[in-house]
Structure formats: structure tokens, C-alpha cells
């Protein structure tokens, strides 16, 4: 399993500024998998700080949420909400899930499965899932950002397109990990590799946030590529901060160069993609 997001500071800003999933994600999982029994068990792979875990708490008797990062698990435990006492956070990997054979109703993973060893993960799924168990893998794509209050559809699409070009350029500068290509294509390639014929996908949901540009900037600092730039001191040595340059470009596109970041209101959206699969076949195709 790839190891990123492990530093304590990175875990803290990840918890503060990464967007959470709507409850509709959990509802779609239950619609697909069926309501678990009173002893239903879910495993959340790559849970991070628990952002994609807690929405499932009302539906299961117990949830085992695992992440390879001790800092992320510490953050998840310290920020756990009331009513989530049925969630157990553990440092563990997707290739060695600490639960018994044939004990799990649903395996979920939000924005994380692209980091794991694919074949070993599915071996573990076959081991721990009940015969009628399900696997649901989901994530979100690169953010769309536009100013709030735009009423013209034509203008909105133009601004969205221009801002997207800037975001793509920022990603190229940050040199994000090559495994993030799976997010870029919305797990289409991974869907084809799921070792069962009983699978489907859903691309109907979105995450939507109304943020100031200042808050949006803080979200961008959670990108692993930008954290690497900071670690390598590439922001220093007389170079302009790549995030500052990006935000200034957005201001030009949005015609608000004279405004401060905290006075610019943005609509930020992410497209959610979800892959659903029944118990995987015994032998990968």
C-alpha cells in the first residue's frame, strides 16, 4: 500500500479542509448491499481521519476503519463524533485486514483504493466477506470552481472551463503521485479490473461547498503534491508560491483582482463516482 498523508500536520489539515461526503453516499451503499443484520459489520479501507466512515455509523452494528497512517488514525480517534461509538479505528493495511474470515457485510473505501495493492486487496475481500457481501469503492474528481452568484449559464460554463485549465496546470506543477491517474479517470480502469461480473457504477452524486477563496486555498494545501513541494522547500528560494500564483490567476479569470481572498465567495463542486460489486470471484479473470 502506498504511504502518503502520514505526517501529523498533514493529517490535521486533511481533517480540517478536505470535503466530507453527503449522506446520500451511505444511502446508495445500503440500497445496493441491502440492510445488514443487527450484527452487521462494515470495514472501511483507508479511512484517514474518518471523513468517509461516520456517515455509515447509523447503518451498522460495528465498523472497523483502518488506515496505514498512525497520524490519520490518531486524528480520527480524537475527532470522532458522538453517536459513533460503534466505529473502531485501527492502524492496518488493505492487504492484511484485521477481521475474521467470512464476517463482513460490506467493504467500503472512499478516495483510497487507488493506493492499495490491488490483487492482495481482493484476496482479502474473498477471505473476510460473507457469501452475500458487497464491496463499494468511491471517490471524487478534481474540483470545479466558479464565483458564486453567476446567473448566466453561458458565462458560468466559460468561467468553469477557464478555471479548470488553471487547476489542471496546478496539478501538473505539483507532480501528483502517478496513482492519482485513477481518480482522474474516475476509476473507469479499476472498474474493469474488479474480479466479478456482478458490478455497476453510479456517477450521479456531487459534493458541493460554498467557500471563500481563502478556505479553498487551505483545501489545496492538503494535496500530497503541494505538501511535497513544501517539504522540498520549493516555495522558497525566491520562487512564487504555486498556490498563490494559481489563486491570482483565478482572480484574473473571475475579474476580482482587487479583492482579498476572504472576501471572494466561490462555489466548489466535486463529481463523486461509485463502484459497486458483489462478492468477488474465487479466481481473478
- Encode pLDDT of 110-119 as tens digits: 999 999 999 9
- pTM, 2 dp: 0.88
Where do the CATH 3.40.50.150 domains begin and end in the chain? 8-142+178-207+272-278
- Buried b / exposed e over 201-224, threshold 16 CB at 10 Å, is bbeebebebebbbebbbbbbbbbb
Q: What is the pLDDT of residues 45-75, one digit of tens each?
A: 999 989 889 999 999 999 999 999 999 899 9
Class of domain 8-142+178-207+272-278: alpha beta
pLDDT of residue 3: 47
- Residues 5 and 46: their CA atoms lie apart, in Å, by 11
Q: Alpha-carbon dihedral of residues 273, 279, 281, 285, nearest 10 degrees?
A: 0
pLDDT tens digits, 117-135: 999 999 999 999 999 999 9
Amino acid at each position: 500500500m502506498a504511504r502518503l498523508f502520514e505526517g501529523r500536520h498533514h493529517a490535521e489539515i486533511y481533517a480540517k479542509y478536505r470535503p466530507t461526503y453527503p449522506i446520500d453516499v451511505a444511502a446508495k451503499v445500503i440500497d445496493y448491499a441491502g440492510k445488514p443484520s443487527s450484527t452487521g459489520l462494515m470495514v472501511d479501507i483507508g479511512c484517514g481521519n474518518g471523513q468517509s466512515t461516520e456517515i455509515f455509523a447509523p447503518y451498522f452494528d460495528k465498523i472497523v476503519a483502518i488506515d496505514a497512517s498512525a497520524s490519520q488514525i490518531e486524528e480520527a480517534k480524537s475527532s470522532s463524533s458522538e453517536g459513533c461509538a460503534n466505529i473502531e479505528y485501527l492502524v492496518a493495511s488493505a492487504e492484511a485486514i484485521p477481521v475474521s474470515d467470512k464476517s463482513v457485510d460490506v467493504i467500503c473505501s472512499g478516495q483510497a483504493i487507488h493506493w492499495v495493492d490491488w490483487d492482495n486487496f481482493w484476496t482479502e475481500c474473498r477471505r473476510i466477506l460473507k457469501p452475500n457481501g458487497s464491496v463499494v469503492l468511491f471517490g471524487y474528481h478534481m474540483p470545479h470552481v466558479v464565483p458564486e452568484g453567476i446567473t448566466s449559464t453561458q458565462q458560468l460554463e466559460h468561467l468553469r472551463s477557464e478555471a479548470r485549465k488553471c487547476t489542471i496546470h496546478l496539478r501538473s506543477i505539483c507532480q501528483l503521485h502517478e496513482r492519482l491517474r485513477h481518480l482522474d479517470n474516475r476509476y473507469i480502469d479499476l472498474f474493469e479490473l474488479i474480479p466479478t461480473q456482478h458490478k455497476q457504477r453510479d456517477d450521479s452524486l456531487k459534493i458541493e461547498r460554498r467557500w471563500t477563496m481563502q478556505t479553498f486555498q487551505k483545501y489545496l494545501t492538503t494535496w500530497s503534491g503541494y505538501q511535497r513541494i513544501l517539504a522540498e522547500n520549493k516555495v522558497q528560494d525566491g520562487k512564487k508560491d504555486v498556490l498563490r500564483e494559481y489563486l491570482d490567476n483565478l482572480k484574473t479569470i473571475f475579474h476580482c483582482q482587487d479583492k482579498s481572498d476572504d472576501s471572494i465567495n466561490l462555489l466548489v463542486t466535486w463529481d463523486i463516482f461509485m463502484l459497486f460489486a458483489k462478492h468477488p470471484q474465487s479466481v481473478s479473470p
